Homo-oligomer: A and B are copies of this chain.
Amino acid sequence: MKKPLITVLSCVMILVCVMINSCYAQDKRDSKQLTTNSVFPKGSKINNDNFKGTAYLKMLIEADSVNPTSIGNVTFEPGARTKWHQHPGGQILLAIDGVGYYQEKGQAKRILKRGDVIKCPPNVPHWHGASVEAPFVQVAVTNRHLGETVWLGEVTETEYKN
């Protein structure tokens, strides 16, 4: 008579353990995934050779004659990055989600995480993108009044993984 009770209790304990694991596993966001709160739309896949790997762009604000600031939301899939490039008006990067890399010529590569900000001076060659294993979402704030982006060479695998 005790057997059914023990069986039921055992099944219940297993069920409870599975539920606990499932419930709290949702809280542990996989660092290789973006959170569900990447804030801005992903936009369209970028189809030009200034980006290596898969990246998406959603222009949030276009520059115009009264306000030369353009703002774009870029999502890099793991391994994706820009070429080396520079901006005549400088650029500000706001890290929105994921894990990214940023490097200026002659400086060490930096790891960017949500909440980090970068101010890249005018005409300084740099590159940015996702980390090897995690995607990266950034908002780029670029003043266009001094000219457009100047694209340079590709980021080598050695530079990317350094």
Chain B residues with CB below 8 A from A41, complex form: 115
Report the stretch among A16-24, A78-86, A104-112 that lies at the interface. A16-24
Count A interface residues, CB 8 Å: 41
Q: Quickly give the copy total for this chain.
A: 2
Chain B residues with CB below 8 A from A23, complex form: 19, 22-23
B96 touches A39 (CB 8 A): yes
A69-B69, A71-B92 given. 18 additional CB < 8 A pairs? A8-B8, A19-B19, A19-B23, A22-B23, A23-B23, A37-B97, A39-B94, A39-B96, A40-B94, A40-B117, A60-B117, A67-B90, A67-B121, A69-B143, A71-B94, A71-B141, A94-B139, A139-B139
